[in-house]
Amino acid sequence: MASKQGVTIRDVARDVGMSRQTVSRVLNNGPNVKPSVRDKVNEAIERLGYVPNISARRMRGSRSYLILAINDRQRTFENWRAGRGNDWVDQMLFGGMTECEKHGYHMVFELIDTDPTKAQEQLFKVISELRPDGVILTPPHSDNSRLTDLLKDQGIACARVGRREGGEFVDVCMDECGAGQRVTHHLVERGHSRIAYLAGSPDYGTSVMRLDGYRAALSECGLEFRKDWIGKGDFQFDTASVVAHNWLYGADRPTAIIADNDQMAFAVLHTVERVGLRIPEDLALISFEDTPGVRLCVPPMTAIRQPTAAMISRACEGLIAASSGEDASGVFEAPFELIERTSTAPSFSHS
């Protein structure tokens, strides 16, 4: 086994004939360092290949240069078990890294249980071990006040994904209501006036907001709001299949369906095929979420693409700023995108 530690700050200090503290000041862009000295130190750092050791930094220092990203264990497990596609963590990693790299931060990912009490215990353990500068909570943990309380108590900055209350935290989200409006307008622009909405759960703030957007858009376009065209789904495939079947079997059927998540959109897709209709000729279909599957199924589905990477990137930015002493709390709304694919292509023949 070779040397466990290479060049230290003392080696650099010795090399330039300065004290450790001066080198430390250069590293941290501290004030009161003569420019010529700063250059000399930087040159030596480069030449010797010195890289500060994160563990040592966080010992006496106040920063750990770590951002902890929390995901839900059960959801992750379930996605894995069901073989259901999910690139959530991929997106988090991508978004987080773009920001963390700039400031020399690193991302640690951890899974914790859905159960609020267990979650709290587990989070306590992890933050005690790692002492990260910031923690990113993703749904459903962004809604667990035990966790935010714990973090507040421990003096660790916290970012919540999917919430928009702000207050003392860094909240990142997207404009769910606007997305609901956008998809509705998208369909209206393509000639649809008979648009049904397959809703998720009223327990989810996001669902409610999206539905609001749908209603707003309908009224903006002077279209009738039909209660029987609000499907009560639960984000699951089976329930959605039943709803879709009822809508599509009759003569008074909608010409477009908006599904609150991808699982339900797939349910519609399969139902359409069973009933003998075609997408997009007989029915336009649009989904939120834009998980991997919707992009590759036949036909590819138009969907709202959640700005996961952007949200996480912003969360990291806020947390890093917070650990530098700035007040980074507030709400950040990342812009979503409507990805147009075949399922709402204009081949639809209304009239």
Partner DNA sequence: AGTAGAAATGTGACCGGTCACAATGGCGCT
Partner DNA sequence: AGCGCCATTGTGACCGGTCACATTTCTACT
Q: Closest separation between CB of residue 124 and a copy of itself, Å?
A: 7
Q: In Å, what is the CA distance from 290 to each residue of 88, 122, 344, 347? A: 11, 31, 14, 22
Q: Closest separation between CB of residue 288 and DNA, Å?
A: 44
Position 343 contacts a copy of itself (CB under 8 A): no
Closer to DNA by Cβ: residue 9 or 187: 9
* Mask for 216-235, x = binds DNA (CB under 7 A): --------------------
From the list a copy of itself, DNA, none, pick the one residue 25 interacts with, judged by a Cβ distance below 5 to 8 Å according to partner type. Answer: DNA
Position 180 contacts a copy of itself (CB under 8 A): no
> Within 13 Å, how many C-alpha atoms sit on residue 337's CB side?
9
Binders in 8-67 for a copy of itself, by CB under 8 A: 49, 51-56, 58-59, 62, 64-65
φ/ψ (deg, to 5) at 92: -65, -45
Binders in 24-53 for DNA, by CB under 7 A: 24-25, 27-28, 31-34, 37, 50, 52-53
* Mask for 163-202, x = binds DNA (CB under 7 A): ----------------------------------------
Position 22 contacts DNA (CB under 7 A): yes
Q: Closest separation between CB of residue 306 and a copy of itself, Å?
A: 11
* Mask for 61-80, x = binds DNA (CB under 7 A): xx------------------
Whether the Cβ atoms of residue 260 and residue 198 lie closer than 8 Å to each other? yes
| Whole-number Å distance between alpha carbons of 155 and 133 | 9
In what helix (H) or strand (E) does residue 286 lie, and over which residues does it extend?
strand 284-287
Q: Closest separation between CB of residue 148 and DNA, Å?
A: 23
User: Tokens 């138009």 sit at which residue?
Assistant: 302
Q: Which two tokens stand for residue 92?
A: 């988090």
The separation between CA 318 and the C-alpha centre of its own chain, rounded to angstroms, equals 14
Whether the Cβ atoms of residue 231 and residue 247 lie closer than 8 Å to each other? yes
Q: Closest separation between CB of residue 207 and a copy of itself, Å?
A: 21
Q: Closest separation between CB of residue 132 and a copy of itself, Å?
A: 10
What dihedral do alpha carbons 236, 237, 241, 244 form, nearest 10°? 70
- Biggest CA–CA distance in the chain, Å, is 87
Closer to DNA by Cβ: residue 17 or 85: 17
Q: At what angle do helices 308-323 and 88-100 cross, to 10 degrees?
A: 40
Position 56 contacts DNA (CB under 7 A): yes
Q: In DSSP terms, which residues pair with 134 in a beta bridge? A: 67, 157
* Mask for 101-120, x = binds a copy of itself (CB under 8 A): ---x-xxxxxx---------
Position 5 contacts DNA (CB under 7 A): yes
Q: Closest separation between CB of residue 282 and a copy of itself, Å?
A: 15
Position 253 contacts a copy of itself (CB under 8 A): no
Q: If you write DSSP's letter for every residue of 29-79 in order, what string do you get? A: T-SS--HHHHHHHHHHHHHHT----HHHHHHHSS---EEEEEEEHHHHHHH
| Exposed / middle / buried, residue 290 (Cβ in 10 Å: 0-12, 13-18, 19+) | buried
From the list a copy of itself, DNA, none, pick the one residue 60 interacts with, judged by a Cβ distance below 5 to 8 Å according to partner type. Answer: DNA
From the list DNA, a copy of itself, none, pick the one residue 22 interacts with, judged by a Cβ distance below 5 to 8 Å according to partner type. Answer: DNA
Position 342 contacts a copy of itself (CB under 8 A): no
From the list DNA, a copy of itself, none, pick the one residue 124 interacts with, judged by a Cβ distance below 5 to 8 Å according to partner type. Answer: a copy of itself
> Within 13 Å, how many C-alpha atoms sit on residue 65's CB side?
16
The separation between CA 234 and the C-alpha centre of its own chain, rounded to angstroms, equals 21
Contacts to DNA by CB under 7 A: 4-5, 8-10, 17-22, 24-25, 27-28, 31-34, 37, 50, 52-53, 56-57, 59-62
